[in-house]
Amino acid sequence: MKYDVVIIGSGLGGLACGRILSEAGERVLVLESGTQAGGCLQSYKRKGFAFDTGFHYVGGLDEGQSLHAVFRLLGLLSLPWKRLDTEFDRVTIGERTFAFAQGFDAFTRRLTEDFPEESDALRRYARLLQQMSVQQWDALNPYNSEPFASSPLFDQNAYQYLTETFRNPLLIQVLSGTSLKTELRRESLPLFSFLHGNSSFVESSWRLAGDSSLLVQALTDGIRANGGEVVCRAHVTELVERGGKLAYAVCSNGERYEADLFISDIHPAQTCDLLKDELLLKKSYRNRMHRLANTFGMFTVSLLLKPGTVEYFNWNHYVYPKHADVWALPSEEGTVGGLLVSCRVPETGGRYARQIDLLTPMSWEQCERWIHTQVGKRGADYEAMKQQLADACITLAEEVVPGLRGQVEACYTSTPLTYRDYTLTPDGSAYGVRKDCNVPLATWLSPRTPVPNLFLTGQNLMLHGVHGVTMTALFTCAEILGKEKMWNMIQATI
């Protein structure tokens, strides 16, 4: 059977494209090499509890906000979302705790309480955050002639902006303290990436009352309801050319899937490797994709708590030791310089939590000695390394959750190696290709490729995270459907 569109990879980008294109009437097939769809939205079960691999909270879901319309289009607004407290993010550095409030005015007022001398700079910064959602939608508007990549924020250095805008070094650390959800690099992080990683959460912040498989299930159900298919254990090994464009995908089991168009939700370098024909992709393009640097990964500690011991807290807590440098993570091997503490909503609606996740940045270099090993067969030294890091994470987390160690019933850990082996993400990267303000055009990738009927999507292109990957999927679909049709589909949901 021939399809209109074959999508390779079922991460959020692939599933979002599949949902949108199938809604537009395209016959869609999503091919996933793993045993379950979802990519970093996958969950796994231990002792009857589902643990998330990459999703913890999302921003901008309220009516009129940056993700509301597209989540309605994707069929995700009806999921059991729980809005976080007004002070949705808290940052503890040493003995002091600061709070981020939902709403741009409230965000400014709350931080001004701790830094009154910075009130004017905070107000200007909040306005810049607020402009982010508008700028992203302007790029999709067919009546707007301004190119997305023309924004000066792409080639402006985030750290330089912060140091030129704010006089208080502690405030710079605090404002950066919630950015474990991006990779902070003094020398190269674009201001656009920094602002995007924070703006939607200030609009409004939400958790799921349940695990991230709810997102995956809603998207796959939507694709199938529109006549599309999602097939797991379908590992694509080659994309074959006929007449100057792609004709079909070949899977490891010998199955062939023909289509008019192809979308790759996997890493651009991996995508290039699927095209054996040297005529379709020039060597220069292949080399460029393979030279792209990837962001760091994450070490995750998933804790199952004893019943009735830790009260649920409806915010996220970022914890750093005294005198920490948020911009210097990941820390040296064996140490933890910063941590996200995220509490799962009690699915029974009770007072006490049963699950808490601890996340800290971890470089690929810290895993290199085990890169040729397999899951479950990495050796005693690997297990000892994980145990040491888990202990350090729990110790730091106890700064905000006193007595946590004694309330743990079970502990499960993962490293960038785990992510590499389960999601096939190169280097176990948490945020895809590293963006660089010094060479923005080299690291911000277009959904279009030199192959006329091959498109890209996912976190490696422009934006990462749930918000970023969703927006990127819209850009990919706009290249296929046309901006006007994409825009009208979104407007129809408002």
Residue 420 belongs to what domain range? 81-209+294-428
Task: Mark whether 142 and 229 lie in a shared domain.
Answer: no
* Predicted pLDDT at 275: 94
How far apart CA 463 and CA 467 sit, in angstroms, is 8
Domain boundary among 381, 412, 428: 428
Percent over 90 (pLDDT), the chain: 83
Q: According to the model, what pLDDT value does residue 231 have?
A: 97
Domain end marker among 378, 403, 428: 428
Report the distance separating Cα 30 and Cα 264, nearest Å. 10
Q: What is the mean predicted confidence (pLDDT) over 277-281?
A: 81
**311, 164: one domain:** yes
What's the CATH number where 21 sits?
3.50.50.60
Q: What is the separation of C-alpha 9 from the centre of its chain, rounded to a whole number of angstroms? A: 15
**Residue 283 identity (one-letter amino acid):** K
Looking only at the bridges linking them, the beta strands covering 229-231 and 205-208 are unpaired
Q: Note whether 205 and 216 are same-domain residues.
A: no
> How far apart are the C-alpha atoms of 282 and 284, rounded to whole Å?
5
List pLDDT tens digits, range 463-492: 889 999 999 999 999 999 999 999 999 998
Pairing, β 355-362 against β 236-242:
unpaired
Could you tell me the sign of the dihedral formed by the alpha carbons of 304, 308, 313, 318, in that order?
A: negative
**Number of domains making up the chain:** 2
Main-chain phi, psi angles of 251, to 5 degrees: -100, 165
- Residues 313, 288, single domain; the answer is no
| Helix intervals (H) in 349-455 | 380-397, 416-423, 440-443
- Residue 308 CA to residue 86 CA, distance in Å, equals 25
Same domain, 371 and 229: no
Segment 423-451 shows an average pLDDT of 92
Q: Residue 145: which pLDDT band, with cuts at 50, 70 and 90? A: low
- Reported as a pLDDT band with limits 50, 70 and 90, residue 396 is very high
Q: What was the pLDDT predicted at 138? A: 78
Higher local confidence (pLDDT), 100 or 374: 100
14 shares a domain with 96: no
Res. 156: pLDDT tops 60? yes
Per-residue pLDDT of 327-369, as tens digits, reads 999 988 878 999 999 999 998 778 999 999 999 999 999 999 9
Same domain, 299 and 154: yes
Q: Which pLDDT score, from 0 to 100, does residue 333 have?
A: 80
User: What pLDDT does 479 receive?
Assistant: 95
Q: Give yes or no for residue 147 having a pLDDT over 70.
A: no
Percent composition of the chain: helix, strand, coil (DSSP 3-state, to 5): 40, 20, 40
CA distances from 333 to 234, 299, 364, 376, 389 (A): 37, 12, 11, 22, 9
pLDDT at residue 175 greater than cutoff 80: yes
In this predicted structure, the answer to whether residue 417 has a pLDDT above a threshold of 80 is yes
Residues 203 and 222 in one domain: no
Within a 10 A sphere around the Cβ of 472, how many other Cβ atoms?
27
- Residues 487 and 152: beta-carbon distance below 8 Å: no
Please tell me whether residues 337 and 418 are part of one structural domain: yes
Side-chain-side CA neighbours of residue 168 (13 Å): 17
* Nearest partner of 99 among 108, 109, 89, judged by Cα: 89
Assess whether pLDDT exceeds 70 at residue 149. no
Q: Quick one: pLDDT at residue 310? A: 97
Q: For position 277, what pLDDT does the model report?
A: 77
The pLDDT of residue 290 is: 95
- Band (pLDDT 50/70/90 cuts) for residue 299 is very high
Nearest residue to 468 via CA among 109, 239, 195: 195
Given a cut of 90, whether residue 151 has pLDDT beyond it is no
Query: Average pLDDT, stretch 46-59?
Result: 91
In terms of domains, do 309 and 169 share one? yes
Q: Are residues 167 and 22 in the same domain?
A: no
Residue 146 is predicted with a pLDDT of 61
pLDDT of residue 150: 55
Pair 33, 234: CB distance under 8 Å: yes
Quote the mean pLDDT of the chain. 93
Residue 406 token pair: 């004694």
Highest mean pLDDT: which range of 120-134, 226-240, 429-443? 226-240
| Reported confidence tier of residue 148, pLDDT bands at 50, 70, 90 | low
**Do 18 and 153 belong to one domain?**
no
Average pLDDT of the residues in 208-234: 96
Last residue of a domain, one of 428, 444, 473: 428
Q: Residue 267, Cβ neighbours under 10 Å: how many?
A: 25
Task: Confirm if 59 and 202 have CB atoms less than 8 A apart.
Answer: yes
Q: Write the CATH number for 346.
A: 3.90.660
